[in-house]
Structure 1
């Protein structure tokens, strides 16, 4: 019986050592957090450039390419394509990810908030 107990403990220990997957994105929470972004950005089917560019369809878009927005040279020349890992870094601290960006937002401090905003952004695709 003691062998069974040791084996069971080994299985549990191995199971606990396996990294768990990333927490699921909460789109509704991301939409609420995105309200802070609305001071400068529009999103949705009829969005227009404002202080910042339209963010509809931003996931997968090359940085500095939304039509009729005057981007900083730093953003246009960054070579970035906005995917999840890149957005994680950028939304944490835009000035560190793209030195010289015009985006003066100080960044989101909680990884969970960033993940949720990205989840929301992913739902906002170009029609």
Structure 2
């Protein structure tokens, strides 16, 4: 299992470097699809899904108090860190990246909407403050 996870992480790393030009203002609107499970910002809390403050650069499966799937926890323990490319791939089709993951969202096929959403998420620091 660890070999498969390591291979999946390696594939994601190899895909890194792809430029994603997203509009964070449009991404805020796209985030409305995520709000029923996730929060972001100064008062964000874990709900059905983990809060997303500081997601870019955060180790995978690391929000304290959230019950992650075994796969996602193992990816984090193996050194997996969320970056723009990994987030984009995960948002596109979560079950393709983490087959036994807990996120019920089927995915977001629209490339530009994913880029916009990731640009929006990147604005938030771990404390929920938003870069201007």
Q: State whether TM-score is above 0.5.
A: yes
| Structure 2 residues not aligned, in runs of 5+ | 1-17, 128-132
Which residue of structure 2 lines up, in the alignment, with residue 94 of structure 1? 94
Q: Which has the larger radius of gyration?
A: 1
Alignment pair present for 1:65 and 2:62 = yes
Correspondent of 2:71 among 74, 87, 96: 74
Q: Residues 101, 22 of structure 1: CA spacing in aligned structure 2 closer, same or farther, 3 A cutoff?
A: same
**Rounded Cα–Cα distance in structure 2 between residues aligned with 1:27 and 1:45:** 17
* CA apart distance, 1:34: 0.5
Conserved 8 A contact 1:89-1:97: yes
* CA apart distance, 1:23: 6.0
The number of residues matched between the two structures is 107
| Structure 1 residues not aligned, in runs of 5+ | 1-20
**Rounded Cα–Cα distance in structure 2 between residues aligned with 1:39 and 1:54:** 11
- Length-normalised TM-score, structure 1: 0.79
**Rounded Cα–Cα distance in structure 2 between residues aligned with 1:26 and 1:89:** 18
Q: Which runs of 4+ in 1 moved over 2 A?
A: 21-24
Which residue of structure 1 lines up, in the alignment, with residue 37 of structure 2? 40
Q: Residues 74, 22 of structure 1: CA spacing in aligned structure 2 closer, same or farther, 3 A cutoff?
A: closer
Instruction: Kindly provide the CA deviation profile for residues 33-88 of structure 1, in whole angstroms up to 9, marking residues without a partner as x.
Output: 00100010011111111000000110111111011111111111123311011111
Instruction: Kindly provide the CA deviation profile for residues 80-125 of structure 1, in whole angstroms up to 9, marking residues without a partner as x.
Output: 3110111111000001111110001011111101000000000111
